[in-house]
Amino acid sequence: MENLTKILPTDDGYDEARIGFQLSHGHRPGLIVDAASIRDVREAVRHAAAHGHGVAVQNTGHGMPIGSDGGVLILTRRMDGVRIDPVARTARIEAGTRWGAVVEAAGEHGLAPLSGSTPHVGAVSYTLGGGIGLLARAYGFAADHLRSVEVVTADGALRTVRPGDDLFWALSGGRGAFGVATAIEVGLVPVAELFGGALYYDAGDVPEVLGTYLEWSRALPDAMTSSVALVPFPDVPGVPEPLRGRHAAHVRIAFTGPAEEGEELVAPLRALPRLVDTLRVLPYTDSATIHNDPPFPMAYHGSHAVLRDLTPTMIRDVLALIGPGSPDPAVMEIRHLGGALSVPADNPVGHRDAAYFFSMISQARLGPVHARFLDVLAPETVGVHLNFLYGENATERNVERAFSPADFARLRELKAVHDPDDLFRYTHRIRPARGQEQE
Ligand SMILES: Cc1cc2nc3c(=O)[nH]c(=O)nc-3n(C[C@H](O)[C@H](O)[C@H](O)COP(=O)(O)OP(=O)(O)OC[C@H]3O[C@@H](n4cnc5c(N)ncnc54)[C@H](O)[C@@H]3O)c2cc1C
């Protein structure tokens, strides 16, 4: 342990190290290890195991669960290498690498990873949690493109696991409950350019925009991935003038087919009055402009559901709850699923038959409003997606709901094999099969 960078609760820099992107949930570990190498990770895991401490892992802190007080928190942010093999069309991505770096490196070869809406999320955690990205309907979940995982397991050993290995299967969806991934290898896709961007609409048009979007999304080719968000934009400098102080609808488009076909497909959306229209042919390296997620740390609370279907009545009821003019206006987002996301793959990522993803994000806690939001969606809810479980939402019950019952049972069996003492209990927790009754 002497050579490790260790940060204790009494040290300066403890708060800076433990608090990530998400400001509303902070864990208070007994020891933070700021790992710079695989050796550091192995040593930290061995130390935790020897002293009976649980292990938490953090790169950016975008998606941490709550409740790792007292354990050992391993930071991976310094392990941020990425290497592209343009011939094999793969990327080897170290644990602390963010999507932005992978997108840039792959883009130099006309390739793209299965990245998400924002460049500052960690690529490893995202991929091991499933990953519903910008090219999701065209190419499936990010986890479907996983080729190998280098992982430090509960015994402190480093293993490289590949398809066909039980531990690979468990990691490619079950993520941090099985070890600390120090690097992954993923397949890249030949997408250098997209037809895409954003369409923004004013609050008064929101019901019509959402109704049109819902109908429009029902008959699209797999090459079209899209979503729509409702965002109450603050009236502050930095927000583009036409959006400032408005509660706007924001449709996001990423189409991998020919631009002319894209233009034709979006015609019904463009027929409605728009505040801003940025649709164009863009390099994949500019894909972060499609969602334009805020790049600075924030406090937020989220809830979501993965849906078999979405009805106009549900949209109406959600708008009454958190839409423009409601008592508790909040951000809401609908992502269109299906397409390649519904193709079976040999990993535990669940709910491949789902058609929509619906989430709500509020800056204040608003517990009862989140509960009512989920009640509205309940008739069509099939479960949740692990990547969007963070903070108070990352309960064991919700983790279980990310998988089919059979896959969850297999994950618990594998947990009993690879982490019988539940060392990795401060991640999205999956208990060992035989430890069900223990704490
Ligand atoms: C603005 C924003 C946009 C997003 N967009 C998308 C999107 O488009 N699609 C999507 O699918 N998700 C999206 N997400 C969710 C995101 O994928 C998850 O929050 C993801 O877990 C973040 O990874 P991280 O490493 O940045 O965060 P962290 O909080 O550092 O990690 C999250 C959790 O992953 C586990 N973990 C981290 N590193 C490792 C490791 N090396 N080995 C094992 N386990 C590890 C730990 O349990 C950790 O608590 C978004 C989140 C935000 C905040």
Q: In angstroms, rounded to a whole number, what is the distance separating the alpha carbons of residues 266 and 279?
A: 9
Q: Choose the residue to mutate in 72, 120, 125 for probing ligand 1, maximizing ligand atoms within 8 Å of C-beta.
A: 125
Which H helix or E strand runs over 103? helix 99-107
Q: Select the more confidently predicted residue: 367 or 3.
A: 367
Q: Do domains 82-190 and 193-389 have the same CATH topology?
A: no
pLDDT (tens digit, 9 = 90+) per residue, 413-430? 999 999 999 999 998 999
Q: What is the mean predicted confidence (pLDDT) over 300-322?
A: 96
313 Cα–ligand 1 center, Å: 32
Share of the chain above pLDDT 90, in %: 84
For domain 82-190, the CATH architecture is 2-Layer Sandwich (3.30)
Ligand 1, residue 293: give the atom nearest the CA: 1
Any atom of ligand 1 within 6 Å of the Cβ of 117 = yes
> Tokens 């398809």 sit at which residue?
163
Residue nearest to atom 36 of ligand 1 (CA): 125
CA distance 350 to 370: 23
Distance of CA 97 to the CA centre of its chain: 14
Report the pLDDT value the prediction gives residue 234, as an integer from 0 to 100.
86
- Give residue 1's pLDDT: 74
CA of 268 to the centre of ligand 1 (A): 34
Could you report the per-residue pLDDT of 253-294, keeping only the tens digit for each? 999 999 999 999 999 999 999 999 999 999 999 999 999 988
CATH number 3.40.30.10 given to 6-75: no
**Whether residue 77 has its Cβ less than 6 Å from ligand 1:** no
Q: Which atom of ligand 1 is nearest to the CA of 130?
A: 11
Nearest-atom number in ligand 1 for the CA of 180 is 42
pLDDT at position 439, please? 42
The ranges assigned to domains in the chain are 6-75, 82-190, 193-389
Average pLDDT, the chain: 94
Least confident of 2-16, 29-43, 113-127: 2-16
Measure 134 CA to ligand 1 centroid, in angstroms. 15
Lowest pLDDT segment from 1-15, 139-153, 215-229, 325-339: 1-15
- Per the CB < 8 A criterion, the answer to whether 180 and 151 are in contact is yes
Residue 19 has pLDDT above 60, yes or no: yes
Q: Could you give the residue ranges of the DSSP H alpha helices within 310-424?
A: 312-322, 367-377, 396-400, 405-418
- Residue 27's pLDDT is 82
pLDDT band at 438 (very low <50, low <70, confident <90, very high): very low
Structural element, H or E, at residue 200:
strand 193-201
pLDDT tens digits, 85-134: 999 999 999 999 999 999 999 999 999 999 999 999 999 999 999 999 99
Between the CA of 309 and the centroid of ligand 1 the distance, in Å, is 26
pLDDT band per the 50, 70, 90 thresholds, residue 211: very high
Instruction: Give the domain 193-389 fold.
Output: Vanillyl-alcohol Oxidase; Chain A, domain 3 (3.40.462)
CA 125, CA 179: separation in Å to the nearest integer?
12
CA 21 to ligand 1 center in whole angstroms: 10
**57 C-alpha to ligand 1 centroid (Å):** 11
98 CA to centre of ligand 1 in angstroms: 10
